[in-house]
Amino acid sequence: MRETGKQRSQRIQIDYYRRRGGLHRFRTLCIAVGGIAAVLYACYVVAGSANKSHLSTGPVAMAHASFENDCKLCHQDFTPISSDASSLEVKPIGVSATKSIQHIETACQKCHQVGNHYRETMLPQATLVDQNCAGCHVDHQGRDHNLVRVANERCVSCHANLSSVCAAAPTVRSNVVAFTKAEHGDFASLQGPDPGVVKFDHAQHLRPGQVDAGQRGEMTLAMLDESLRERYRVDGQDDSAAVQLDCASCHQLAGNPSGENTMASDGELGRYMAPVSFEQHCSACHSLNSGAATADTMPIPHAVPWAKVDLLLAATIDGVRATGQARPPRGDKRAVAVPGDGLGKPASGQPASSIVDVRLARERVQSQCLKCHDEASTTDEAIRAAIGKQTATMIPPRWLRHGIYDHAAHQRIDCKYCHEAAYLSDAAAKPASDQDVVMIAGIDSCTGCHRDSELPTPASLTSPETESLLGGQLTWASDRCTLCHRYHPPAAAKVDP
């Protein structure tokens, strides 16, 4: 017999909603716990309203402490400041990755006006990552937190595969994951020829008297101007002693206040070596002169247009003749007269010609210039371009253009450790001139000390010879990327490609 609808309806318990089960009890418990939590949080907010520390994830770094209580300087509703802000999109509540990143960069650039990191070469998503300051600089980690101490992992996140973030093929090594020769590669700036165009023999100048062993003609202190002798005198030397130069005779620590190199624009002592100057470092032994016979003859200034040189030569020649300081004639055996030789009479016996004498004097000066420079560098056009800083410097201020090397931090180390090529003693092994060789050691000279802290000291640093060169310098140092590289160039600077 089939069950009727009336019979089925009688099975339904109409008062079921009056009966309380486990679900009702759980709901009541949740309401009670939520209410208690709300009351407790309200008390917490009221009790902590004086310093509002309960609303912060932690104290800000010392650099930002002055506006720690003014949160709106950095924070804005629905614009998260975090390392993953470039990928946070919750459009229903108004959270936009593009809006967040623009806010972060604008807020930081109010105080920190720095340049971007090759942003014009990046893909769109990588550009957002570059704009996200909070990706590398995480605040609210305490007063002593160093905001610029960026973990290597942040750099490697892009540099392990640069091809994935660059719009075109990278112009530098595309896979750098650690500071070793295998995983970093040698320094790119050392792979080409020396960019300098000045002929200079370091090994020759480091020898006593600047001559080879057993050779005559050494430069002595007595040959220098009396006012310059103390600069080059070594303790215990008299004026007959040979001049002994060392690296510090020409290279002194300096900062970089001009910001010429975009990867090292700060002025901290040791970032750069001061430029080598002819007047300060060369003229004591290599004074440019016209050949006129007088100790009081005015030296020719370095790197000035030839028209000014000619005027000074003419004045010098006429001056030594007019004052009777010229040397007496030496007869007719000399084929070409030396400017200033004799009292107005050249060796040929013909009347003196100031024009001829100036030409001869200029040839003498030019021959002195060519000891260090090529002919192209001594033309009027090249000299004027150098004076106006319209051309590259003949001695680059920095060879490692993509990184920072701090000489001051390494001052205990003997120069020979990194510049061994400058100390060659075998004349047969020397190149034709120093500009044929970059006299800077590669990455192998760095990775021995700059390594993972868990790795042992390499055997190459424990030999007596190397220990002597290190001069007591510690044989472990950080291998952090930011030790040598700066992410941001100055805002208005051009970055080396």
Per-residue model confidence as pLDDT tens digits over 221-248: 999 888 889 999 999 999 999 999 999 9
42 and 127 inside one domain? no
pLDDT of residue 48: 60
Q: Model confidence at 127, in pLDDT bands (50, 70, 90)?
A: very high
Please give the residue that has the higher pLDDT: either 290 or 113: 113
Please give the average per-residue pLDDT across 295-300, as a whole number: 70
Three-state secondary-structure class, residue 272: strand
Q: How many other C-beta atoms lie within 10 A of the C-beta of residue 243?
A: 23
Per-residue model confidence as pLDDT tens digits over 2-61: 778 777 777 777 777 677 778 888 988 999 999 999 998 888 777 765 555 556 678 999
Please give the average per-residue pLDDT across 370-395, as a whole number: 88
In a domain, 139, yes or no: yes
Is the separation of the CB atoms in 94 and 471 below 8 Å? no
Separation between Cα atoms, residue 357 and residue 313, nearest integer Å: 9
In a domain, 79, yes or no: yes
Query: Is the pTM higher than 0.95?
Result: no
Per-residue model confidence as pLDDT tens digits over 257-266: 444 444 444 5
Q: Model confidence at 405, in pLDDT bands (50, 70, 90)?
A: confident
Please give the average per-residue pLDDT across 380-399, as a whole number: 85
29 and 92 inside one domain? no
In a domain, 219, yes or no: no
The residue out of 177, 205, 224 marking a domain boundary is 177
64 and 164 inside one domain? yes
Is the separation of the CB atoms in 220 and 243 below 8 Å? yes
Per-residue model confidence as pLDDT tens digits over 139-198: 999 999 999 889 999 999 999 999 999 999 998 899 999 999 999 999 988 888 778 888
Q: What percent of the chain has pLDDT over 90?
A: 41
Separation between Cα atoms, residue 280 and residue 251, nearest integer Å: 11
89 and 156 inside one domain? yes
Q: Domain residues for 65?
A: 58-177
Return all residues near 166 (Cβ < 8 A) that are at least 6 apart: 121, 122, 123, 126
The residue out of 143, 177, 211 marking a domain boundary is 177
pLDDT of residue 44: 76
In a domain, 140, yes or no: yes
Separation between Cα atoms, residue 242 and residue 223, nearest integer Å: 10
Separation between Cα atoms, residue 268 and residue 248, nearest integer Å: 19
39 and 150 inside one domain? no
Look over the chain and give the mean of its residue pLDDT values, rounded to a whole number.
Answer: 82
In a domain, 169, yes or no: yes
Is the separation of the CB atoms in 347 and 329 below 8 Å? yes
Q: Model confidence at 293, in pLDDT bands (50, 70, 90)?
A: very low
In a domain, 301, yes or no: yes
106 and 29 inside one domain? no
> Which of 487, 411, 438 shows the shortest CA–CA distance to 151?
487
Please give the residue that has the higher pLDDT: either 309 or 430: 309
Please give the residue that has the higher pLDDT: either 94 or 431: 94
pLDDT of residue 325: 64
Residue 132 burial (C-beta neighbours within 10 Å; 0-12, 13-18, 19+): buried
In a domain, 86, yes or no: yes
Is the separation of the CB atoms in 211 and 220 below 8 Å? no
> Which of 108, 118, 91 shows the shortest CA–CA distance to 487?
118
The total domain count for the chain is 3
68 and 41 inside one domain? no
141 and 40 inside one domain? no
Please give the average per-residue pLDDT across 99-116, as a whole number: 91
Angle between helices 124-131 and 97-109 in degrees, nearest 10? 40
Per-residue model confidence as pLDDT tens digits over 453-481: 899 999 999 999 999 999 999 999 999 99
41 and 69 inside one domain? no
Separation between Cα atoms, residue 231 and residue 368, nearest integer Å: 24
In a domain, 439, yes or no: no
